């Protein structure tokens, strides 16, 4: 059996590698976006500028993650939901509208999937009203809220619940 200190060092190495991969992905994405803007606007971005934008973006994402965690904890929850994301986006009307729209689309998709499953299952007991179905779909969408196409938000100590 490994000593506790060795396990802790290994966890720290894994965390560092994970952070480095995330930073590299952010840097690559920022570089691609800067290249698109450069082509559209006929300007150039220096490597230092791209690196600075990447670092600021990464730090802002870390701040967003911490804020989302605090919002969920304030609500005495271990899972970040769509309401937390909306609260985070409250200062940007266009982002808030976009997130609200995507959340509603997800809820409707969940509702449609449930309706298809109900049609397949003729032995369903106790029909729900359509309002109850929409509420159930919205609640489910909060747990499966997607950001940029990825399930990305999970709090430590959440007992491996999907979000």
Q: How confident is the model at residue 146 (pLDDT cuts 50, 70, 90)?
A: very low
Model-level pTM? 0.63
CA distances from 24 to 17, 20, 29, 55, 62 (A): 10, 6, 9, 10, 15
Question: For the segment 15-62, what is each residue's pLDDT rounded down to a tens digit?
Answer: 999 999 999 999 999 999 999 999 999 999 999 999 999 999 999 999
pLDDT of 131 reads 61
Is 122 strand, coil or helix?
Answer: coil
Chain centroid offset of residue 6 CA: 32
């Amino acid at each position: 059996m490994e000593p506790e200190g060795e396990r802790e060092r290994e966890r720290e190495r894994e965390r560092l590698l994970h952070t480095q991969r995330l930073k590299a992905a952010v840097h690559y994405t920022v570089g691609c976006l800067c290249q698109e803007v450069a082509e559209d606007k006929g300007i150039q971005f220096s490597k230092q500028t791209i690196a600075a934008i990447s670092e600021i973006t990464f730090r802002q994402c870390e701040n967003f993650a911490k804020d989302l965690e605090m919002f969920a904890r304030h609500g005495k929850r271990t899972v970040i939901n769509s309401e937390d994301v909306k609260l985070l986006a409250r200062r940007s009307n266009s982002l808030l509208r976009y997130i609200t729209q995507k959340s509603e689309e997800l809820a409707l998709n969940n509702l449609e999937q449930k309706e298809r499953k109900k049609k397949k299952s003729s032995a369903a007991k106790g029909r729900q009203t359509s309002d109850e179905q929409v509420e159930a779909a919205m609640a489910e969408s909060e747990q499966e809220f997607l950001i940029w196409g990825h399930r990305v938000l999970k709090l430590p100590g959440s007992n491996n619940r999907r979000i």
